């Protein structure tokens, strides 16, 4: 039976709200936390984007749950040597309860310094090299590295956890999943697709941690919940590579007319039907996931946590 965690959205909430949601999640019976790592929200309606490493520092004092970034891009906006220092410190502050989730990123966050946004195959090469650099730094030894994409000279992390920080790799297609199976300590994806889990496990992932996540919108009025999702998160239904290549929130807003409320209602669990919420999470369990994270869209966070504490999590357990 998988563990069930809560997915904190840095795109939609500021630091104080995220810390309070983490407390409510622990009290409700969730067993772990994911937290997104963005420079921009997907659209202005979401309206937030705090620096994730500052928030993780606060979370380390507020809750005792495991914490993981879902996901950090350690390749363009931040050099992997800097991400390694941030992750090592987070692991020390959480007494080893931190995992670093990484992915190849989105132009939305990574192009802000004016760097070229590489094609997908190059981004995966950069990610693999970044993981190598970070793993060497987690040893606490001095590292010099002269690679294809990164240079590191005489770098040493002095604040490191007792055990190296686990690095889980996000993958939504065969190439990224193959990378995760070869070099990851775990695998992250956002759809309950059993073939991808099988590819990860058979490709070298074995029994390593497989984690997935989904978004819902709890509320007594299902139609209002659908409208809330449509206003805040219609971007999650955009097809293809748009999520990786569009550079600003305004570009995502320009595409919102492509996503209808009917599409949202068909693809997102909205309302207060316990069976629908249970089924959405059980789909991940049936596909072989070890941890499943759920995010509540919109302002009714307390209602969501009460609903899951009393009705949904007991059914899952």
Catalytic residues, by residue number, are: 38, 106
How far CA 169 is from CA of 10, 155, 226, 299, in Å, comes to 19, 24, 31, 30
C-alpha closest to that of 38 among 6, 62, 8:
8
Token output for 153: 């000279």
C-alpha closest to that of 30 among 6, 7, 56, 9:
6
CB 249 within 8 A of CB 108: yes
**Cα angle, residue 244 at apex, residues 186 and 40 outer, rounded to 5°:** 95
Give the C-alpha separation, 91 to 98, whole Å.
Answer: 5
Give the C-alpha separation, 139 to 160, whole Å.
Answer: 8
Pairing of β 186-189 and β 98-102: unpaired
Token output for 56: 């993780």
Give the C-alpha separation, 281 to 178, whole Å.
Answer: 25
């Amino acid at each position: 039976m998988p563990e069930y965690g809560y997915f904190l959205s840095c795109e939609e909430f500021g630091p104080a709200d995220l810390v309070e949601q983490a407390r409510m999640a622990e009290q409700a019976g969730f067993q772990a936390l994911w937290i997104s790592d963005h420079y921009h929200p997907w659209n202005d309606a979401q309206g937030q984007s705090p620096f994730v490493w500052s928030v993780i520092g606060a979370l380390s004092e507020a809750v005792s749950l495991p914490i993981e970034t879902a996901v950090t891009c350690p390749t363009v906006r931040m050099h992997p040597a800097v991400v390694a220092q941030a992750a090592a410190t987070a692991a020390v502050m959480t007494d080893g309860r931190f995992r670093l989730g990484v992915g190849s990123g989105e132009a939305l966050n990574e192009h802000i310094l004016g760097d070229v946004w590489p094609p997908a195959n190059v981004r995966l090469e950069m990610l693999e090299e970044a993981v190598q650099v970070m793993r060497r730094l987690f040893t606490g030894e001095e590292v010099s590295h002269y690679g294809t994409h990164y240079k590191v000279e005489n770098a040493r992390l002095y604040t490191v956890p007792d055990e190296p920080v686990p690095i889980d790799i996000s993958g939504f297609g065969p190439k990224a999943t193959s990378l995760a199976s070869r070099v990851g300590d775990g695998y992250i994806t956002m759809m309950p697709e059993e073939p991808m889990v099988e590819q990860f496990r058979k490709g070298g992932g074995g029994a390593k941690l497989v984690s997935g996540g989904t978004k819902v919108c709890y509320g007594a009025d299902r139609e209002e919940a659908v409208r809330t999702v449509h206003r805040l998160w219609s971007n999650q239904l955009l097809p293809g590579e748009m999520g990786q290549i569009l550079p600003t929130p305004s570009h995502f807003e320009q595409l919102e007319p492509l996503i209808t409320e009917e599409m949202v209602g068909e693809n997102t669990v909205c309302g207060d039907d316990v069976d629908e919420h249970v089924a959405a999470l059980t789909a991940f369990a049936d596909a072989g996931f070890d941890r499943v994270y759920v995010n509540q869209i919109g302002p009714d966070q307390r209602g969501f946590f009460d609903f899951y504490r009393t009705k949904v999590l007991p059914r899952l357990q």
